[in-house]
Amino acid sequence: MVSYVVLILFIAMAGYLVRFVYKEADTYKNDARNGKRMKQLEDKFLRGDIMAADETVLATTSVTEDGGERRFYPMGQTFAHVVGYTGRGTTGIEGMANSYLQDSHTNPALRIVEALRGIKSSADSVITTLDVGLQETAYSALSGHSGAIVVMEPGTGKVLTMVSRPGFDPNTLEEDWEVLTSESNTSSNLVNRATQGLYTPGSTFKVFTALEFLREYPYAYNDYSFSCDNKYEAGEYAIKCAHGVSHGNVDLSEAFAESCNGAFADIGQKLDFSDFMQTCEDAGFNTSLKTRVPLAKNRFVLDNNDSLWDVLQTSIGQGETQLTPMYNAMVASAVANGGTMMNPYVIDRVLSKYRERVASFGPSRLMTIMTKEEARILKEYMDACVAYGTGDDAAGEGYHAYGKTGSAQTRSDKETNAWFIGWAEDSRDPERKVAVSIVVEEGGSGGSVAAPIAKKLFEEWRSRDLSEEEYGSDMPEEETADDEVVG
C-alpha cells in the first residue's frame, strides 16, 4: 500500500514537471524579469530575423567588420513599436518571440558542422502577420499627431498593422535613450499606445451602451425615440451634442449614427447598472485578457452609488472608462464577426535558418461578447453611421464600410481625441473583411479626422489583387476559425 502511495506521488511530480514545461514554461521564460538568463542564451546564436507577412525584413542581426553584432531595423520608425527593440530590455515582437529569436531549432548535425567551421549559427526567424503597405499608410496618416492605429482581420485575429506615434528610431535607440527617457520628455515615445495606451473611448463606447439597451429592452428598443435639441438636461446637469447640432427626433439607429449624446445619456439612465457592469466585464473590461498580444487592462466603473453625472458621462463613453486602441479594434472585429472576438496575433510562424517550420500560430477564439442577433443589429447601426451619420467620410469605392466615430474629451482646454472604429467588406467578396481602430490625440472630431484615415486604410487594403494576397490559401484557416466558434 505504502509503495503505491509513493509511486503515485513520484509519478505526479514527474507529470507535473512535464506539464509545466509543456504548458507554462514559455510564459515564465519570456517574462521581462528573466532577462538575465535569456541574455546569456543570446550569445550562443546570431539573433533571428523578424519579417513581415510578405517576408520583408523588419529586423535582422548583422556581423560588423570588427566581429561585433548589430541589430538593424530596415523599416526604421514605421514598425518601431510593434517590432520593438532589444538591448534595453525587450519589447514588442522582440520580446514576445524572444525565446525563438535566441534559440536555434536546426538539425544538431548541421550545428556540429557549423561549430567546426567556426560559424556562429543563426537562431530561428519569426514571420509576422504585418502588412507593409497598410503599416506605411497608417504611419503616414498619423504624421504630425500622437495616436495609434490598429488594423486586423475580424475573422482570424491577424493583426495587419499596429502603429503608435510619436515613435522612435530603433536603429539609433542607444544614442537617443537619454533623451527619450529623460524626465523633460513627456510624449512617451517608447510606449506602444496601441496596446498599452489607455484612452477614453468617447462615443465609440456607445456600442456597449446600445448593446446593453438591446439586452434590457429586447422588444422595445425599436420603439425608442428621443427628441434632441442639442442640450439634454437631467437634474442640474446638461449634456450637449457636438458642434451645437440639434438632431431632432431620433430613434436608436439614428441616435447611434448621428452620435447623439442626449439620446445616449437618456438611455444610460434607463439601464440597470449592475447588468451594464456585467455586460462590460463579460466583454473584457476590468480583467486581464489572455490575449497573445499583451494588452493593458481596460477599465469600466459604474455602480448604484454613482452620481447622476457619472451615469450620464459613462453612457456616452466619457467618465472613467478607459480602453486600449487594440481592444477597440477587437470590439469592431467582434461585431463584424457575429459576436465572436478572436484572439489577436502578430506572430504567424517561426522558421529555422534552413526554413524548417518550428512553430505556427493559427486563429483562436478569445470569447463571445454578444449573440449573432445582437451583432446583426449593431452592424445595422454601424452601417447607418457610415451611410448617413458621423462616419460618412470612411465610405469609399469598392468596399462597404461600417463604423462608429468618437470625439473623446480628456481636458476641457484641449481638442478632443478623434476616434474611429469599424470595418470594411470587400465588394468583390463580402467575406473578405478588415477592421480598424484609429485614435488621433487632440485631433478634433472623429468624423472629420479619424474617419478619413479609415478611408485611406480601406482603400489601400482594397487595392490588393485578391490572388496576390494568397487569398485562396487563407480560406481554410478561416474555416477552422469558424469551426472553433461552433464548437
**Whose Cβ is closer to other proteins: residue 16's or residue 354's?**
16
**Whose Cβ is closer to other proteins: residue 42's or residue 131's?**
42
Residue 32 sits in the site that holds other proteins (CB under 8 A): no
**Whose Cβ is closer to other proteins: residue 24's or residue 373's?**
24
Q: Per CB under 8 A, which region of 30-38, 243-251, 288-296, 378-386 contacts other proteins?
A: 30-38
Residue 290 sits in the site that holds other proteins (CB under 8 A): no
**Whose Cβ is closer to other proteins: residue 115's or residue 466's?**
115
Residue 10 sits in the site that holds other proteins (CB under 8 A): yes
From the CB of 31, what's the least distance to other proteins, in Å? 7
From the CB of 62, what's the least distance to other proteins, in Å? 22
Q: Which of 116, 178, 412, 413 binds other proteins (CB under 8 A)?
A: 116
Residue 117 sits in the site that holds other proteins (CB under 8 A): no
Q: Give the 3-state secondary structure of the chain.
A: CHHHHHHHHHHHHHHHHHHHHHHHHHHHHCCHHHHHHHHHHHCCCECCCEECCCCCEEEEEEECCCCCEEEECCCHHHHHHHHCCCCCCCCHHHHHCHHHHHCCCCCHHHHHHHHHCCCCCECCEEEECCCHHHHHHHHHHCCCCCEEEEEECCCCCEEEEEEEECCCCHHHHHHHHHHHHCCCCCCCCCCCHHHHCCECCHHHHHHHHHHHHHHHCCCCHHHCCEEECCEEEECCEEEECHHHCCCEEECHHHHHHHCCHHHHHHHHHHCCHHHHHHHHHHCCCCCCCCCCCCCCCCECCCCCCCCHHHHHHHHCCCCCCEECHHHHHHHHHHHHCCCEEECCECEEEEECCCCCEEEECCCCEEEECCCHHHHHHHHHHHHHHHHCCCCHHHCCCCEEEEEEEEEECCCCCCCCEEEEEEEEEECCCCCCEEEEEEEECCCCCHHHHHHHHHHHHHHHHHCCCCCCCCHHHHHHHHHHHHHHHHC
Residue 297 sits in the site that holds other proteins (CB under 8 A): no
| Rounded Cα–Cα distance for residues 287 and 97 (Å) | 24
The β-bridge partners of 71 are 61
**Whose Cβ is closer to other proteins: residue 34's or residue 287's?**
34
Q: Per CB under 8 A, which region of 82-90, 109-117, 362-370, 434-442 contacts other proteins?
A: 109-117
The β-bridge partners of 368 are 340
From the CB of 258, what's the least distance to other proteins, in Å? 47
- What value, to the nearest 5°, has the Cα angle with vertex 168 and ends 85 and 460? 95
From the CB of 195, what's the least distance to other proteins, in Å? 20
From the CB of 83, what's the least distance to other proteins, in Å? 23
**Whose Cβ is closer to other proteins: residue 16's or residue 72's?**
16
Residue 25 sits in the site that holds other proteins (CB under 8 A): yes
| Rounded Cα–Cα distance for residues 341 and 333 (Å) | 7
**Whose Cβ is closer to other proteins: residue 13's or residue 238's?**
13
Q: Per CB under 8 A, which region of 38-46, 147-155, 247-255, 406-414 contacts other proteins?
A: 38-46
Residue 112 sits in the site that holds other proteins (CB under 8 A): yes
From the CB of 192, what's the least distance to other proteins, in Å? 22
Residue 466 sits in the site that holds other proteins (CB under 8 A): no
Q: Which of 71, 105, 111, 365 binds other proteins (CB under 8 A)?
A: 111
Residue 109 sits in the site that holds other proteins (CB under 8 A): no
Q: Per CB under 8 A, which region of 25-33, 164-172, 310-318, 470-478 contacts other proteins?
A: 25-33
Q: Which of 88, 94, 107, 115 binds other proteins (CB under 8 A)?
A: 115
Residue 119 sits in the site that holds other proteins (CB under 8 A): no
Residue 8 sits in the site that holds other proteins (CB under 8 A): no
Residue 33 sits in the site that holds other proteins (CB under 8 A): yes
**Whose Cβ is closer to other proteins: residue 158's or residue 353's?**
353
| Rounded Cα–Cα distance for residues 443 and 161 (Å) | 20
From the CB of 90, what's the least distance to other proteins, in Å? 14
Class of residue 405 by CB neighbours under 10 A (exposed 0-12, middle 13-18, buried 19+): buried
Residue 20 sits in the site that holds other proteins (CB under 8 A): yes
Peptide bond into 166 cis (omega under 30): yes
**Whose Cβ is closer to other proteins: residue 34's or residue 427's?**
34
**Whose Cβ is closer to other proteins: residue 4's or residue 219's?**
4
| Rounded Cα–Cα distance for residues 310 and 318 (Å) | 9
| Rounded Cα–Cα distance for residues 397 and 424 (Å) | 11
From the CB of 14, what's the least distance to other proteins, in Å? 5
Site for other proteins in 40-59 (CB under 8 A): 40-41
| Rounded Cα–Cα distance for residues 487 and 483 (Å) | 6
From the CB of 178, what's the least distance to other proteins, in Å? 26
Q: Determine the size of the site formed for other proteins (CB under 8 A).
A: 33
Binding site residues, other proteins, CB under 8 A: 1-3, 6-7, 9-10, 12-14, 16-18, 20-21, 24-29, 31, 33-34, 36-38, 40-41, 111-112, 115-116
